[in-house]
Every structure is written in structure tokens, then in C-alpha cells.
Amino acid sequence: MSISGTKPAESRVSDTLARDRLGVAAVVFFVMSAAAPLTVVAGVVPTGLAVTGLTGIAVAFLAVAVVLAIFSVGYVAMARHISNAGAFYAYVSQGLGRPLGVGASWVALLAYNMFQVASYGGFGAIAEPLFADWFGVNAPWWVLGLAAWALVAVLGVRDVAVNGRVLATLLVAEILLTVVFAVAEITTDGFAASSAPLDPSTLTGAGAGALLVMAITGFVGFEQSVVFSEESRDPRRTVSRATYIAIALIAVLYAFASWAMISAAGADKVVDRATAEGPELFFNLAAGPLGDTALHLGHALFLTSLIAAMISFHNIISRYMFSLGREGVLPRVFGKTVPGTGAPKNGSLAQSAVGLAVIVVYAVMGWDPLVQLFFWGGTGGGLGVLLLVTLTAFAVIGFFARHPEGEDLLHRVIAPVIGAVLLLVVSYLAIDNIATLLGVEPGSTPALVVPLSFAVLFVAGVLWALYLRAARPQIYAGIGLGARSAANSGGFAAALNEETR
Amino acid sequence: MASPPQLPPADDLYLTAHDTIRGKSLLSPATLGLGLGAALLGELMLWRRIDLVETELVIIDDRPTGDAASTAVLEQILREAGQHGVRNWLAYLSTGIATDLVERRLARAALIKRVEKRGLLGGTKVSFVPADSMTAGWPATRIRTKVTRDEHLDVADLLLAGLILATGLDQHVLATLDARDRAALFEQFRRLFPAMLQQLVSQAEAAVGDAVMARRA
């Protein structure tokens, strides 16, 4: 098998390299384990019902899937043409200019860190009653959150690759279990097929933006498919297929499970039940037909799903910092790895420091780990990713306006423009509805802090890029080109550039 | 006491990248492979067999070098001339091919010894340990000594030092250099290291970074 189809089939170099390359299934698995299906279905959806009181979540998942799929047409097309395709800021740098790219990189770091700390809160809050039940351990949420934090911190620094087969098995089990539980909920007595979760008018009504952000939160991780653009068997097809398959699978699974859950509880009662039962709602509704063993299994997979998400986001963050450190946008120390393992140690340590600080602050202040950390962090991160995706959509248009070679009109103009317009509308609704999303009064502190912190970091990133342009043009020139760029990477390139730090 | 002789850069890099007593690698297999692959390509440049033009390897002389490891690489490049950029060659050599060639060359010269260990599950594990820890530690010592004494490194040693930085080995073996020494070494890279080899080492370093991003390192 040859890499591009144009080279002779008997090339030993091509054959050897092809053996290491990834197929569609491998990329789908990687993406979906960051998306953490059970965490979304059993964690984000019931909490979101309780906080926002909105039930149109199933149709929101489907609508967001369509928007993201349209966006992905241009996104994966551009990934074929640029280096460092794993990071939004590379697209923004090359499509809209380096200053906006650096702004995007800082927003991305905040958004992914919000996901990361959210998963610590979620794990602690969800594990607290389970550990009391299973082992008789009465530990407060933050002790359990810190245990998960320590596990992720150690794995991150040592870069112990959690066995791909283990992750894949857990993921398949998680998906099967979600389906089985949702089907069980359909068979219960209280089930009455409800149209409320699928009512498209909720997407134009009050609170539409809140629903859409919750839905986007469930998809985050889909953007990571392009990390493997140059590692895939067929650069033109593998990643694009994997991206569409992942989006479709996620959408159908989430929409079905949330529809079943809301219908089983009753659309008029589900908000009250979600408020009372929290993440237990999805399990309680299925408990009747399935029995205790299934319930325990479901709970165990819920926790492993959260841990898989933590590990995924931790790795995304540490590598983001590595890439920025190599380019000199962040201090060069972040561009170093542990020689024996290739672990981006300093980025990993920095992320762990952030995680520790957040857990400690929440514990000391006595803030609620489920709503104020898991849900706010998760949906706040979802909002950040939504804004980044929107900016990237425009970057794709900008990039192909200047480099139209090799892509047809659909990939470089039509889909990107439609996607960008739709995303702009979603972003507007999201910011407009931020108070509904967080379940607070409009204009109150959380409703201001979340969007403003993205804005402040974005502007700060832009200013930092402008400073680099004036003071360190060599570094500025390499922004967004990533570790792949030979002109701008680690210690040796720094030596050539008289950049000794 | 006489110093051990200077070996080809790939051999020196191999010895530097392994524990001098037990032979345990200080680098991940992928990073070691990229470093050794670049070192072998660098040797072919020092033999004046190939050039790096932009990102392509160009053969300027197809005669064997008289050394089995570099000749084996040269023959492969001859067979698939012009089909792959330097990054693909590095990726290919890093799959274990470069490490294997260098291990065989060092074993032939009796600088490393093959050790077989029976594993718990019955299989045997083959590893290599340095024949003499003083010889194995010499390349790194030589670089440190010359840099701290303000002596010039020759081109082969600049290649070695460049690849030590590119693979991150400097955290192990150049950690004792102070800021002034490092600046002096960097000055030598800029003034005395041929542009083509600078480009090769930069490509290797970028490949190492890339492996980290794609979770292959």
C-alpha cells in the first residue's frame, strides 16, 4: 500500500511508514474517548435540566451535529494543508493572522482547563455517594477529586500511555451501556414518548443558546481528529470520515439517550426529578427493569468515563503548552519533554498545578462541585470551544481565499461560509443566554466572569503577539507553524536563533 | 591516560543516549531512532555522499563509504532516490532501522555487548550493554570539556552536540554547562556548523517535537 497512491507500490520506505498509520476506527475511538459519552448523558444532561429547566436537549444535539459537520468540511480540508493541525490557534494564525492566533491559543488553554477541572469536580461529586455505598468510605468530594487529580498528574508527567485497547474496551462498554439503559428506560411503566426533547421550536425560543452550548459541550473532543492528519492511512479520507462518523455517532447516541430519559421521567416532571436526583436520574430511571448489578456496572463506567475524559484533556493541554513553548509563544521550558518518555512534563505540571488550585479553592470556599464546578466548568469550556470553533470557521475561509489550490468550491468556500454563519448565530445566542445556561441572574458575577475571562485572555494574547512582532520577530514568524516547523522548535533551533531561553 | 578514539557521530550519539553501565536507553525508542537516523544521514553528508537541498536528499556520489551502516542507508536512498523528503527518511529510519544498524556497528567494534536475559514468561530479552563505561561516557565528556575550555568542536562533534539538543538528551548530559558555556556552544553552531547539517538537525528536532504532538514519542 502506498501513501498517496502516486508512488510505486514497492517502496520500502512507504510500506514501513504505512504500517504505523492509523485507520478510521482508531481515530474515531480517540475522539470519542475525549467526548466521554456516559459523562455527558448521565452527568451533563441531567445537571443541565436541573440548572436551566430546558428540555429541548435532544434536538439541540442533532442541530449542533449538523452545524459541526458543516464546519468540519472546511476544517479537515484545511488540516491537509497546514502543519500543527491539532491546534485551533494554528488555523487562526494561518487564516486570520498571528495576533488573533495567539489570542485563540490562550482562550483554548482556558477552555480546555475548564473542562479538566470540571471533570475533577464531577468525579468527586459523583464518586462521593458511590464510595460510601460500595466501600463504606465517607470521604468528602474533594478528597476523591484529589485522588483522581493525583492519578492524572502522575500519568501525565510519566506519560504512561493508558493502553489503547483498555480505553477502547471501556468506551465500547460505555456506549453499549448507555444504549441498554436508554432502551430499558423506554420499557418502564412511566415512559410516554415525549416530543418536548425534540421540539425544534426550542431552538428559536428563550434559552436556545443555553441548550446549544450544553449540546456543544457534549461534542468537545471532535476537533482532535485532525491531530492525526499526517499519521493517517489516507490523508484525504481517513480523518474526514472519522470526524463525520464520530459526530454522527455522538449525536445519535446523545439524542436518543436524552430523549429516552426525559420521556421516561415525563417531560413535565423531569426538571424536578433532575433537581432532586442529579446524575442519578439516568440510572434510577433504568433501575427497575435492569436491577442492581447493571446499576453498579453503570456507576463504575460513569467514573471510568470521567477518568478517560480527564486523561484526554490533560494530554491535550500539556501538548498545547508544549507546542506553544516550542514556538516561543510561552516560555521555552514548556517546550521540553522528559527524554525517556517524550512526556511534555512542564505543561503537564502546570496543568496539574491549576487543577490542584481549583480543587483546593472550591473545597475551602465550600462551593458546589457538581453545579458550580462540573457544570459551570464544562459548559464554560464548551462556550470557549464554541467561540474557538467559530473563529476557526472564519480562519478556514481566510486561508482558502489565499490558498485555493487543491480543494474544490464546496470544501473551501460553500461549506465554510455556511458553517461560519451558523456558528456566528450560535455564538451570539450562547453569549446572550449565558445567565440561563449557568442558572444565575443576568448580569450576576458568574454570567459576567465566564465570557469576560475569554475576552480578556483573547485580547491579552493579541497584545502579546504584537509585542513579539516588535521585539522578537524571529519567534513571531514561527507562530502557528508548530513543532513541525524546522525553523522554530526546540533547543537546537533556539540556539541557531540566538534565543538561549 | 589516552582518550578513547572519536567514533562516527551515530555511535557516539548511541553511547551518549544510554546508561554507561547498564545500557538502559535514556530516550524513548522513537526519539532515539530519529536521533540515530539523523546521525547516519549526517555521516553520509560528512562522507560527501549526499546533500540536503531544501527538504530533499540528493545523492552526489553513490560509492560505498567503506562502513556497513552508512552504506546500508546510502543503498536504500539510491533505491528510492527522489521519492521521499528528509522527514520521511527520518521517520523511516526511526522505526528501528537506524538503531539496529548502529547497534550492529558498535557490537562489531566490541564497544557494546549483547546480553540475553530470560524473562519471567520464558521469552528471552536481548539488550546491549557498553563494554567499557569509560569509553561509553567519553563522547559527552569530550563535548563538555571542549566547550568549557573554549576549544572548537569539529564538525562531527557539532553534529553530535546538535543531536543531543534536538533529542532532549542535553537535560542529561549537558546540564552542567553554565549559561556562558551554553552561549559559547550556540555560537559555534552558528559560526562553524555547515548550513546543510544545521538544516538536518533542525529537521530531526522538528520530527522529535512532532512525535510528541502525535503521541508517538
Spans of all domains in chain B: 9-213
Which of A492, A498, A499, A501 best probes binding to B when mutated, by most B CB atoms within 10 angstroms? Answer: A492
Residue of A nearest to B96 (CA): A16
Which of B13, B186, B213 best probes binding to A when mutated, by most A CB atoms within 10 angstroms? Answer: B213
Chain position carrying cell 563509504: B65
CA distance A490 to B164: 11
Q: So what's the pLDDT on residue B166?
A: 93
Contact yes or no for A487 and B202 at CB 8 A: yes
CA distance B117 to B7: 28
Give B198 to chain A, closest Cα distance, Å.
8
CA distance B51 to B197: 9
Give B173 to chain A, closest Cα distance, Å.
11
* Position B65, amino acid: T
Cβ atoms of A426 and A208 within 8 Å: the answer is: no
Q: β-strand B56-59 against B50-53: which pairing, if any?
A: antiparallel
Chain position carrying cell 430499558: A184
| Partner residue facing A339 (CB), from B76, B167, B182 | B167
Cβ atoms of B199 and A479 within 8 Å: the answer is: no
Chain A positions touching B181 (Cβ under 8 A) are: none
Chain B positions touching A340 (Cβ under 8 A) are: 25-28
Chain A positions touching B198 (Cβ under 8 A) are: 496
Burial label, A470 (beta-carbon count in 10 A; 0-12, 13-18, 19+): exposed
Contact yes or no for A483 and B91 at CB 8 A: no
Chain A positions touching B89 (Cβ under 8 A) are: 13
Chain B positions touching A322 (Cβ under 8 A) are: 209, 212-213
Classify B28 as helix, strand or coil: coil
Contact yes or no for B92 and A13 at CB 8 A: yes
| Angle, CA of A116, A121 and A126, to the nearest 5° | 125
Q: So what's the pLDDT on residue A6?
A: 46
Give B199 to chain A, closest Cα distance, Å.
8
Contact yes or no for B214 and A230 at CB 8 A: yes
CA distance A226 to A207: 32
φ, ψ (nearest 5 deg) of residue B83: -90, -25
Q: Give the helix/strand (H/E) hosting B129.
A: strand B124-130
Contact yes or no for A340 and B25 at CB 8 A: yes
pLDDT level of residue A3 (50, 70, 90 thresholds): very low
Classify A232 as helix, strand or coil: strand
pLDDT digits (tens, 9 = 90+) for A364-405: 999 999 889 999 999 999 999 999 999 999 999 999 999 998
| Contacts for A169-172: CB closer than 8 Å, 24+ residues apart | A170/A33, A170/A301, A170/A304, A170/A305, A170/A308, A171/A29, A171/A32, A171/A33, A171/A37, A171/A308
**Residue pairs spanning A and B at CB distance below 8 A:** 141
Polymer length of chain A: 501
CA distance A126 to A109: 26
Tally of structural domains, chain A = 1
Identify the CA nearest to A20 among candidates B88, B209, B127, B35: B88
Give A17 to chain B, closest Cα distance, Å.
6
Residue of B nearest to A87 (CA): B213
In a domain, A8, yes or no: no
CA distance A296 to A301: 9
Cβ atoms of A196 and A264 within 8 Å: the answer is: no
pLDDT digits (tens, 9 = 90+) for A141-181: 999 999 999 999 988 887 656 666 777 888 899 999 999 99
Contact yes or no for A339 and B202 at CB 8 A: no
Cβ atoms of A424 and A390 within 8 Å: the answer is: yes
Q: So what's the pLDDT on residue A35?
A: 81
Chain B positions touching A318 (Cβ under 8 A) are: none
Asked if CATH classification 3.40.640.10 holds for the domain at B9-213, the reply, yes or no, is no
Chain B positions touching A4 (Cβ under 8 A) are: none
Residue A9 DSSP code? T
Chain B positions touching A492 (Cβ under 8 A) are: 162, 165-166, 189, 201-202, 205
What is the residue-wise DSSP string for A397-457? HHHHHH--TT--HIIIIIHHHHHHHHHHHHHHHHHHTHHHHHTS-TTSHHHHHHHHHHHHH
Sequence-distant (≥ 6) Cβ neighbours of residue B69 within 8 angstroms: B8, B10, B40, B43, B101, B102, B104, B105
pLDDT above 80 for B122: no
pLDDT digits (tens, 9 = 90+) for A254-313: 999 999 999 999 888 999 999 999 889 999 998 878 888 888 889 999 999 999 889 888
Identify the CA nearest to A112 among candidates A323, A251, A315: A315
Identify the CA nearest to B67 among candidates B47, B45, B81: B47
pLDDT digits (tens, 9 = 90+) for B149-164: 999 999 999 999 999 9
Q: So what's the pLDDT on residue A7?
A: 44
Chain position carrying cell 490523508: A235
Contact yes or no for A340 and B209 at CB 8 A: no
Lowest mean pLDDT among A264-278, A473-487, B182-196: A473-487
Identify the CA nearest to A90 among candidates A342, A354, A319, A351: A319
Identify the CA nearest to A162 among candidates A42, A264, A70, A30: A30
Cell of A265: 421521567
**Residue A237 lies in domain:** 29-496
Residue of A nearest to B159 (CA): A492
The domain that holds A301 is classified in CATH as: 1.20.1740.10
Chain A positions touching B209 (Cβ under 8 A) are: 322-323, 326, 335, 482-484, 489-490
Chain A positions touching B95 (Cβ under 8 A) are: 16-17, 20
pLDDT digits (tens, 9 = 90+) for B27-49: 999 999 999 999 999 999 999 99
Average pLDDT of the residues in B116-120: 77
pLDDT above 50 for A93: yes
| Partner residue facing A483 (CB), from B92, B172, B210 | B210
Average pLDDT of the residues in A486-498: 66
Cβ atoms of A306 and A328 within 8 Å: the answer is: no
| Contacts for A362-369: CB closer than 8 Å, 24+ residues apart | A362/A121, A362/A142, A363/A140, A363/A142, A368/A125, A369/A121, A369/A122, A369/A124, A369/A125, A369/A141, A369/A142, A369/A145
Give B96 to chain A, closest Cα distance, Å.
11
In a domain, A15, yes or no: no
Contact yes or no for A11 and B80 at CB 8 A: yes
Contact yes or no for B214 and A484 at CB 8 A: no
Contact yes or no for B166 and A323 at CB 8 A: no
Identify the CA nearest to B169 among candidates A321, A490, A497, A484: A490
Mark residue B194 as left, alpha or beta (left: phi above 0; alpha: psi -120 to 50; beta: remaining). beta
- DSSP lists the bridge partners of residue B125 as B117
Lowest mean pLDDT among A81-85, A240-244, A463-467, B54-58: A81-85
| Partner residue facing A486 (CB), from B26, B92, B199 | B199
Cβ atoms of A416 and A400 within 8 Å: the answer is: yes
pLDDT level of residue A419 (50, 70, 90 thresholds): very high
Contact yes or no for B202 and A335 at CB 8 A: no
Residue A210 DSSP code? H
Cβ atoms of B104 and B43 within 8 Å: the answer is: no
Cβ atoms of A34 and A313 within 8 Å: the answer is: yes
- Alpha helical stretches, state H, B47-154: 68-79, 86-92, 98-108, 133-148
